[in-house]
């Protein structure tokens, strides 16, 4: 490392507050500090500012209907179409030749879609879906990797008013079936396969296996041919259709965008919760789209001239809001990359930034920590001077990783927004407005204008700055989930019951609980500490420990299992599984391999346990409750908390010794 670099590192290490450059502020979409007061004084009408970023077919009557909390309705009476907002209006406004999607495959092949191209293909696919029998409000499941056909299918669904239900392609066959069953979805769009680290992966085989477990059967499946000659030679079954053939049949077809009520469902997205059953988060057309668009404009500072890249997968909410809906509604160019960040080399991300002159880049702390580990020579070998703003999402970012990102990717010129939000919130909630606020590494920032968040104790009383407590949100916001699909009761019990007076009709008595721990400083900056429920966050992906446990106990030879998250240098958290074997079964490599396979089959490789620790017992309280906190301490090599309340205190030391032996 050069002398200058060392000095720079030392200076950055000490600095705990960073100002955006004057140059950035001068051009920022939002740079007036008065916006916070303006939103507070004019709440909820302030949200018209978000709705104004969209075209409405029918003006709304009311910004917020809060007469039946927590079933809030936004922009009531309004009508609009999300696809029209993301595609048609740009074509009509003279931007038909502007690039909408820049796609790059893992092997380096590229595809470019102008807004006109997108318009044509979305229309043709919408017509194809209709011909296959998809009607308004039918849920269409999209089980697809990062290929352009995924956003095209999402927009085609939105065009005809059919909510989409995207299932992450890395999820297993069983996870696909669970989500299709839960959503009563009879239509599926998938693909033959995709590339990972240079090799083709068979996706259709996994899809077919999942389809066998869809209880209600499936009316039609559409298969994208991604692999061409590298494909696995599957024949399509009777109700399976080839994407390209369908489009050929529909060449030149146009489908009028359906006018959707603002409160009509735009999509469903399943996410992990505390029970084994994933939760179907329902997002709406008016509120969600306004919110995703507004935050893309105000926080990511996207302008239509920008080339913007979010490296998430569209299979997660980040990709929905900030690869597809937000950037396309703003008419910008959104970059999609199919593969892994280190294929063929560790400079792949920076190669893409350089090639497309990316202006705004949004990624996850887990990726930043991996880049940091690989070393700064990779970004230094590329021209990253096009970058104007950087963002992170998905998990807490440690100040060291933040500063590395700021220095080595942003060249100390780009604000870094650390954005806290959730699948349920639809869009960013807590982060700095980059044209207004200073940044503090490690802290997401203050709540965005119009967002009312507090840190409270178990009684719901506000805690002092600096003390850890629970994050709560006290006012509704347009991007919020409306309910859990067909399960209003669980919606209330998961998110509202903890801190609300559930008998009250007064919205002031209703408080949203995101199930995160947090603390606030004297300037109102919030540091999110992590989940306080049984959900772990692996590489920014949310996994329910119960889901993993039920996969493990389903493996022959396993009597009981407890899963917790342990700290991991790159992934943030990793899965630790503590397993008791059934009598007559041997602990060892065979069972370990079957457990890992069981988890991969039930959920997918992302949930793969980092460590499987066999133990004769689990630490339990006298009432028989597993003490997970202790198991976490063991996973983290931390000092053990109080074990005196345990029925079997000795077991903890035995487990600890095993974990140490395995990690050595």
Which residues would be at the binding site for ligand PRX (CB under 6 A)? Answer: 271, 317-318, 393-396, 418-423, 444, 514, 516, 528, 530-531, 537, 542
For ligand PRX, the closer of residues 406 and 421 by Cβ is 421
Residue 351 φ/ψ, nearest 5 degrees: -60, -45
**Least gap, CB of 319 to ligand PRX (angstroms):** 10
For ligand PRX, the closer of residues 149 and 395 by Cβ is 395
Bridge-based pairing state of the strands 389-393 and 416-419:
parallel
36 vs 273: CA distance, rounded Å: 33
What's the length of the chain?
Answer: 664
- DSSP assignment of 205-252: HHHHHHHTT-TT--SEEEEE--SGGGS--PPP-TTEEEHHHHHHHTTT
For ligand PRX, the closer of residues 408 and 531 by Cβ is 531
**Least gap, CB of 333 to ligand PRX (angstroms):** 22
For ligand PRX, the closer of residues 240 and 271 by Cβ is 271
Work out the burial of residue 71: count CB atoms within 10 Å of its CB; fewer than 13 is exposed, 13-18 middle, 19 or more buried: middle
For ligand PRX, the closer of residues 64 and 448 by Cβ is 448
Nearest residue to 373 via CA among 190, 222, 569: 569
For ligand PRX, the closer of residues 178 and 423 by Cβ is 423
For ligand PRX, the closer of residues 36 and 512 by Cβ is 512
For ligand PRX, the closer of residues 50 and 393 by Cβ is 393
**Least gap, CB of 322 to ligand PRX (angstroms):** 9
For ligand PRX, the closer of residues 290 and 537 by Cβ is 537
Residue 37 φ/ψ, nearest 5 degrees: -70, -40
Residue 379 φ/ψ, nearest 5 degrees: -65, -30
**Cβ-proximal residue to ligand PRX, closest one:** 423
For ligand PRX, the closer of residues 332 and 419 by Cβ is 419
Whose tokens are 């499941």? That residue is: 141
**Least gap, CB of 515 to ligand PRX (angstroms):** 7
Helix, strand and coil percent figures for the chain, each rounded to 5? 35, 25, 45
Question: Torsion-angle region of residue 308: left (phi > 0), alpha (psi -120 to 50) or beta?
Answer: beta
Nearest residue to 357 via CA among 407, 308, 312: 308
106 vs 86: CA distance, rounded Å: 26
- Specify which residues 62 forms β-bridges with: 76
Q: Indicate the DSSP class of residue 518.
A: E
Tokens standing for residue 618: 């689990």
**Least gap, CB of 470 to ligand PRX (angstroms):** 12
**Least gap, CB of 97 to ligand PRX (angstroms):** 33
For ligand PRX, the closer of residues 444 and 635 by Cβ is 444
**Least gap, CB of 271 to ligand PRX (angstroms):** 5
Q: 396 near 572, Cβ under 8 Å? A: yes
Work out the burial of residue 658: count CB atoms within 10 Å of its CB; fewer than 13 is exposed, 13-18 middle, 19 or more buried: middle
**Least gap, CB of 341 to ligand PRX (angstroms):** 18
**Least gap, CB of 343 to ligand PRX (angstroms):** 24
SS3 call for 263: coil
**Least gap, CB of 13 to ligand PRX (angstroms):** 21
- Residue 636 half-sphere exposure toward CB, CA atoms < 13 A: 16
User: 200: part of which helix (H) or strand (E)?
Assistant: strand 199-202
For ligand PRX, the closer of residues 231 and 530 by Cβ is 530
For ligand PRX, the closer of residues 139 and 393 by Cβ is 393
**Least gap, CB of 226 to ligand PRX (angstroms):** 26
49 vs 368: CA distance, rounded Å: 33
440 vs 431: CA distance, rounded Å: 10
Tokens standing for residue 133: 């029998």
**Least gap, CB of 168 to ligand PRX (angstroms):** 11
478 vs 43: CA distance, rounded Å: 12
For ligand PRX, the closer of residues 140 and 471 by Cβ is 471
Tokens standing for residue 657: 């010794």
**Least gap, CB of 482 to ligand PRX (angstroms):** 16
**Least gap, CB of 543 to ligand PRX (angstroms):** 9
User: Furthest-apart CA pair in the chain: how many Å?
Assistant: 73
Q: 179 near 141, Cβ under 8 Å? A: yes
CA-only gyration radius of the chain, Å: 24
């Amino acid at each position: 490392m050069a002398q200058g670099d060392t000095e720079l590192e030392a200076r950055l290490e000490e600095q705990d507050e960073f100002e955006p450059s004057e140059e950035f502020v001068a051009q920022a979409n939002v740079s007036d500090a008065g916006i916070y007061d303006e939103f507070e004084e004019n709440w909820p009408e302030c949200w018209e500012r978000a709705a104004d970023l969209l075209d409405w077919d029918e003006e709304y009557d009311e910004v917020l209907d809060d007469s039946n909390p927590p079933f809030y309705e936004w922009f009531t009476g309004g009508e609009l179409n999300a696809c029209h907002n993301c595609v048609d209006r740009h074509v009509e406004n003279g931007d038909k030749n502007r690039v909408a999607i820049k796609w790059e495959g893992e092997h380096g092949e590229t595809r470019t879609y102008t807004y006109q191209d997108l318009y044509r293909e979305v229309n043709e696919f919408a017509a194809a879906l209709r011909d296959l029998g998809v009607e308004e409000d039918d849920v269409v499941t999209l089980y697809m990797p990062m290929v352009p056909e995924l956003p095209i299918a999402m927009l085609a669904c939105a065009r005809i008013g059919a909510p989409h239900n995207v299932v992450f392609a890395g999820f297993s066959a069983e996870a696909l079936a669970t989500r299709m069953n839960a959503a009563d979805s009879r239509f599926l769009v998938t693909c033959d396969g995709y590339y990972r680290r240079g090799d083709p992966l068979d996706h259709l085989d996994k899809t077919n296996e999942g389809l066998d477990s869809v209880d209600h059967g499936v009316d039609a499946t559409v298969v994208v041919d991604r692999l061409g000659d590298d494909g696995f030679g599957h024949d399509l079954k009777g109700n399976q259709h080839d994407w390209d053939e369908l489009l050929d049949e529909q060449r030149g077809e146009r489908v009028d965008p359906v006018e959707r009520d603002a409160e009509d469902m735009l999509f469903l997205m399943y996410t992990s919760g505390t029970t084994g059953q994933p939760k179907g988060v329902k997002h709406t057309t008016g509120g969600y789209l306004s919110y995703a668009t507004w935050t893309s404009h105000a926080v990511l500072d996207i302008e239509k001239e920008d080339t913007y890249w979010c490296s998430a997968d569209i299979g997660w909410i980040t990709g929905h809001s900030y690869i597809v809906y937000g950037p396309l509604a703003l008419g910008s160019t959104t970059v999609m990359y199919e593969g892994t960040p280190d294929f063929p080399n560790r400079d792949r991300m920076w190669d893409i930034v350089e090639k497309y002159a990316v202006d705004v880049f949004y990624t996850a702390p887990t990726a930043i920590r991996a880049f940091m580990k690989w070393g700064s020579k990779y970004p230094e070998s590329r021209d990253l001077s096009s970058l104007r703003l950087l963002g992170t999402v998905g998990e807490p970012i440690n100040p060291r990783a933040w500063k590395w990102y700021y220095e080595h990717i942003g060249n100390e010129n780009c604000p870094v927004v650390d954005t806290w939000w959730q699948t349920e919130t639809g869009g960013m909630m807590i982060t700095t407005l980059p044209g207004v606020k200073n940044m503090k590494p490690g802290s997401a920032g203050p709540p965005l204008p119009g967002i009312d968040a507090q840190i409270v104790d178990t009684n719901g009383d506000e805690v002092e700055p600096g003390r850890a407590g629970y994050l709560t949100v006290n006012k509704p916001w347009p991007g919020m989930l409306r309910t859990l699909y067909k399960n209003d009761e669980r919606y209330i019990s998961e998110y509202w019951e903890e801190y609300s007076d559930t008998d009250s009709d007064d919205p002031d008595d209703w408080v949203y609980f995101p199930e995160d721990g947090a603390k606030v400083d004297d300037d109102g900056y919030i540091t999110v500490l992590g989940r306080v429920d049984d959900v772990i966050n692996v590489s920014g992906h949310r996994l329910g420990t119960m889901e993993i446990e039920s996969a493990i106990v389903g493996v022959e030879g396993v009597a009981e299992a407890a899963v917790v998250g342990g700290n991991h240098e790159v992934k943030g958290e990793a899965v630790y599984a503590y397993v008791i074997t059934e009598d007559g079964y041997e602990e060892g490599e065979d069972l370990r391999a079957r457990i890992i396979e069981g988890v991969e089959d039930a959920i997918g490789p992302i949930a793969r346990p980092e460590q499987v620790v066999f133990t004769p017992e689990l630490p339990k309280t006298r009432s028989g409750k597993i003490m997970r906190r202790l198991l976490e301490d063991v996973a983290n090599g931390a000092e053990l908390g109080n074990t005196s309340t345990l029925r079997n205190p000795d077991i903890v030391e035995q487990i600890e010794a095993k974990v140490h032996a395995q990690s050595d």
